[in-house]
Structure 1
Amino acid sequence: MSRVYPKEYYAREIFDDVSNYGDMMTVKPSLHNITPEPELFGDEATRTSVSSKAEEDSTRREESGVSCSSDKQVVPPLAATLSSGVKLACNSNQFLGPGGIVDAELVDQSTNRYRIHLPTAGCYLWPATHLGFLVRAAVTVEIAFNSWGQHLDLDLQHHDQWMVAGPLFDISMEPGEAVAELHLPHVISLQDEVDVSWFQVAHFKEEGMILERPARVEAFYAVLENPSFSLMGILLSIARGTRLSVPITSTALIYCHLHPEDIKFHVYLIPSDSVLTKAIDDEEARFHGVRLQTSPPVEPLNFGSRYIVSSSAHLEIIPEELKLSYRSPGEIQPFSKVYAGKMKEPIELEITEKKHKNLVWKTLVKPVDLQFGAASAPLGFSGAAFVRQHHRQLQARMGDLNGVLDDLQDSEVLTENEKELVEQEQTRQRKNETLLRLVRNKRDQALELLFRSLAERDPYLVSYLRQQYM
């Protein structure tokens, strides 16, 4: 069953009264509240979705001519693997299908619009977004990402008990009838208190917002059978007066910003949405933040709840409180800044649920963890070019050279006499100047070895110079 909400409904105010027209419900001005039709609740609903429809789905696919022997082997297990945090061996623009990896083409970078040709019948999954398709024949797909905030008044989510539960995709297919199933990702944890009848697929069209109930809801995605395509995503439509803390799968992200005098971390607590994570990665990369490897919270967290960020050491954290909410990619994402000074000792970061004081996440960051971020370089990066570009800054800012000199002597860049020549200089700047001159005269391979030694011995300086001059 579908419901049409005119633009005036979700853009300005709430209406009353409902008129039914067959399978479609059109909301007219001055209508009040719409309560989802009753369905099974909790475990009973989940068992119905997962088990009782399995035989029905199999029969339907055989009758429709879909040949997808890998259906159970590709889509559900991959979705579960992705949501559990396991990395798949494919790039952000690649799909997994029955024949292996299929590349997507980025056709419009400003809107992140991709085009991909799925060459045969079968099941396909886009690991970067958790979006999946079951197709009867070859099909060409165009997909772009969009913001809920541009199409749905976020204030109405609380007033109307509508909750954003996944990314918003703009999807088109040619031919559309070739698609048997569309698997839209969601972040809801299907526990006892979550009723699968709350799940709705929102389509944004000229006539307004249309809500469509999915054919079934699985652990990490909702399924539309024989779908129509539009600007679409998952909403939860919870009956007014139902006061529940909806559990969602979530993740904690931590980014390091290195500076010789002050190391800073950015800590995010967000729904487990890979599109959202990529958007944060891209935004942090603009300011040269390096994401550190961490584990997500083990238990689902509650949407709308507040969480406190704290540390074992006496560090400055601004703000200390984060609210777990969904903001679309492209919107400003809240985070806590953690100032750690020069960080000579490990620090422990924790996130605690504010109301009940329950510890939900913690991680340990050691100084050695930061070296990998400082030393890592993009493909094609030249250490020799780095040393030449930053000659003056290195001459002024390199510190204790004992370890660097040992490294260069061990790798036969410097002889014993040349090492002593550097050590005999009276000032630090003269030592640096002499070392750089000696190494530069030995060409690029020697400069590469100098860069590697500096990246290991003084990662903060290397990272600082890369951030300031990239």
Structure 2
Amino acid sequence: MPFSTTYNSRVHYFLSGDVCSGEEQLVSSFAAKLGFERDPGCKHNHFLGPDGKVDIELIDESVNRYSVHFPTAGYYLWLAKGLGFVVRAAVTVRIAFDSWGQHLGLSLQLSEQWMVAGPLFDVTAEPEGAVAEVHLPHFICLQAGDVDVAWFQVAHFKDEGMVLEKPARVEPFYAVLENPSFSLMGILLRIASGTCLPVPITSTTLIYYHSHPQDIKFHLYLIPSDALLTKAINDEESRFHGVRLQTSPPMEPLNFGSRYIVSGSPHLEIMPKELRLSYRSPGEIQPFSKFYAGQMKEPIRLEITDRRRTLVWETVVKPGAAFVKEHHRQLQVRLGDLNGVLDDLLDSNVLTENEKDLVEQGKTRQQKNEILLSMVEKKGDEALELFYESVKKRDPYLVSYLSQWNL
């Protein structure tokens, strides 16, 4: 299979670097190496393949079931999920997601020392035999050198129960099955009885902002780098109007099952002050720490340390960035004359002259507001903070009004 050999050499090149830096680095690196333009939309709705983007169709939202048709031989990767296929010919693949908790009982996990190492997929392909390889994502960090690839197993859940298969090879972000037979399947790590070695994993932090004039609060999650877990948490937080803030992953791989201490600026009230890095299936209640920040009139610092007080993650949350994200829709409708705001953003190098002109070309006031808001949000929290300060200075009554929005 020449196309498979070509793909492997190209992908191994970029995955051999910092393999513990999180999904954003994976997405950016893959897109750059294969010549794709970075388009945030393609992360969710497309596979990337030899001829560009391939649409994914959602066929049953209740069970997260998707269908995708790969038109030619080659390698296809769903960046948002880390799931890849090498195909010999045109093929239609159907993909659904399931919960480990429904299939891998707690007693089996304890007696056999199994550790969940990635999402659980239900995959079928038509015609049979068209898929040469399936690449199943995992969140084990191999670069630390503490994990033996011989521990990796692919678990198939069939009528007769759980059937195990050794992957053909294990790469930093995925394990490969060659000439796969499809079923409900995912990656498990089998740790020998009596083994006390820490298992380093790639992990991520999620922060959600909940506004209230008297007591703003944040929810902080520490979870394995699993796109399905992230989506489940996003969906749950959205139900309660949580606004996800930008943040980077931990600086180093963290140990599965270990407890980490959360802390922050002195005036913050934090509950609980410890988080255990563990895996709970999407749909189960995910543990998080709450940070109460009062009216949050100044930036706050958040930190995670290990039990030896070694810093493993930190961030600074600024009130303006959170405010703009929460009130995007209201700002789009209510922002008035933009001339002063545009001048401020130009002076602070948030916008270029060309970008300012693009905003001014909007046909209506609301269209101009939306162009500006989308443009600034893509530039990150620093840009949002400068935008907020400009709006607060030039239209303090609007900012005061929106601050009472959730009362």
Q: TM-score, normalised by structure 1?
A: 0.68
Report how far residue 73 of structure 1 moved: 3.6
Residues 137 and 175, structure 2, Cα contact 8 Å, conserved in 1: yes
User: Which of 104, 113, 117 matches 1:161?
Assistant: 113
Report how far residue 371 of structure 1 moved: 2.7
User: Which of 93, 102, 105 matches 2:57?
Assistant: 105
The answer to whether residue 250 in structure 2 is matched with residue 250 in structure 1 is no
Report how far residue 352 of structure 1 moved: 1.1
Change (3 A) 1:459 1:318: farther
Residues 270 and 292, structure 2, Cα contact 8 Å, conserved in 1: yes
Aligned to 2:87: 135
The answer to whether residue 193 in structure 2 is matched with residue 240 in structure 1 is yes
CA distance in 2, matches of 1:460, 1:227: 59
**Which whole-Å deviations, capped at 9, do the CAs of 1:47-89 have from their partners, x for residues lacking one?**
xxxxxxxxxxxxxx24xxx577455446874896846365542
Residues 245 and 302, structure 1, Cα contact 8 Å, conserved in 2: yes
**Which whole-Å deviations, capped at 9, do the CAs of 1:167-197 have from their partners, x for residues lacking one?**
0001111113011111000000113221100
CA distance in 2, matches of 1:255, 1:122: 39
Residues 23 and 225, structure 2, Cα contact 8 Å, conserved in 1: no
The answer to whether residue 176 in structure 2 is matched with residue 220 in structure 1 is no
Report how far residue 154 of structure 1 moved: 3.0
User: Which of 201, 211, 232 matches 1:279?
Assistant: 232
Report how far residue 376 of structure 1 moved: 2.3
Counterpart mapping for 1:429-440 below 5 A: none
Report how far residue 164 of structure 1 moved: 0.2
AA of the residue aligned to 1:215 = A
CA distance in 1, matches of 2:150, 2:76: 26
Q: Which has the larger radius of gyration?
A: 1
Q: Secondary structure at the match of 1:373?
A: helix
AA of the residue aligned to 1:310 = S
AA of the residue aligned to 1:209 = M
Report how far residue 277 of structure 1 moved: 1.1
User: Which of 91, 115, 122 matches 2:67?
Assistant: 115
Q: TM-score, normalised by structure 2?
A: 0.78
User: Which of 216, 220, 227 matches 1:267?
Assistant: 220
**Which whole-Å deviations, capped at 9, do the CAs of 1:105-146 have from their partners, x for residues lacking one?**
000000010000000000000001000000000110000110
Q: Which moved more, 1:147-156 or 1:234-243?
A: 147-156
Change (3 A) 1:376 1:236: same
Residues 256 and 264, structure 1, Cα contact 8 Å, conserved in 2: yes
Change (3 A) 1:409 1:232: closer
**Which whole-Å deviations, capped at 9, do the CAs of 1:204-243 have from their partners, x for residues lacking one?**
0000000111000000100000001000000001111111
Change (3 A) 1:308 1:409: closer
User: Which of 131, 138, 141 matches 1:179?
Assistant: 131
Change (3 A) 1:239 1:373: same
Report how far residue 166 of structure 1 moved: 0.2
Indicate the RMSD between aligned Cα atoms, in angstroms.
2.9
AA of the residue aligned to 1:137 = A
The answer to whether residue 284 in structure 2 is matched with residue 344 in structure 1 is no
CA distance in 2, matches of 1:459, 1:348: 23
Residues 71 and 123, structure 1, Cα contact 8 Å, conserved in 2: no
Residues 301 and 316, structure 2, Cα contact 8 Å, conserved in 1: yes
Change (3 A) 1:82 1:352: closer
Aligned to 2:263: 310
User: Which of 193, 212, 227 matches 2:146?
Assistant: 193
CA distance in 1, matches of 2:167, 2:191: 15
AA of the residue aligned to 2:402 = V
CA distance in 1, matches of 2:193, 2:243: 43
CA distance in 2, matches of 1:140, 1:110: 21
Q: Give structure 2 stretches of 5+ with no counterpart.
A: 29-37, 341-363, 374-390
AA of the residue aligned to 1:204 = F
Aligned to 1:333: 286
Q: Secondary structure at the match of 1:342?
A: coil
Residues 319 and 337, structure 1, Cα contact 8 Å, conserved in 2: yes
Residues 68 and 123, structure 1, Cα contact 8 Å, conserved in 2: no
Change (3 A) 1:134 1:97: same
AA of the residue aligned to 2:271 = I
AA of the residue aligned to 1:235 = L
Following TM superposition, the consecutive aligned residue runs of length 4 or more in structure 1 with deviations greater than 3 angstroms are: 66-83, 85-88, 381-384, 407-411, 444-449, 452-461
Report how far residue 155 of structure 1 moved: 4.7
CA distance in 1, matches of 2:254, 2:188: 18
Q: Report % sequence identity.
A: 62
Report how far residue 278 of structure 1 moved: 1.6
Residues 154 and 188, structure 2, Cα contact 8 Å, conserved in 1: yes
Change (3 A) 1:460 1:144: farther
Residues 74 and 123, structure 1, Cα contact 8 Å, conserved in 2: no
Aligned to 2:241: 288
Residues 75 and 124, structure 1, Cα contact 8 Å, conserved in 2: no
Query: Would you say how many aligned residue pairs link Structure 1 and Structure 2?
Result: 346
Aligned to 1:170: 122
The answer to whether residue 305 in structure 2 is matched with residue 364 in structure 1 is no
CA distance in 2, matches of 1:287, 1:456: 28
Residues 260 and 464, structure 1, Cα contact 8 Å, conserved in 2: yes
**Which whole-Å deviations, capped at 9, do the CAs of 1:278-319 have from their partners, x for residues lacking one?**
221121111111111111111100000001111122211111
The answer to whether residue 277 in structure 2 is matched with residue 324 in structure 1 is yes
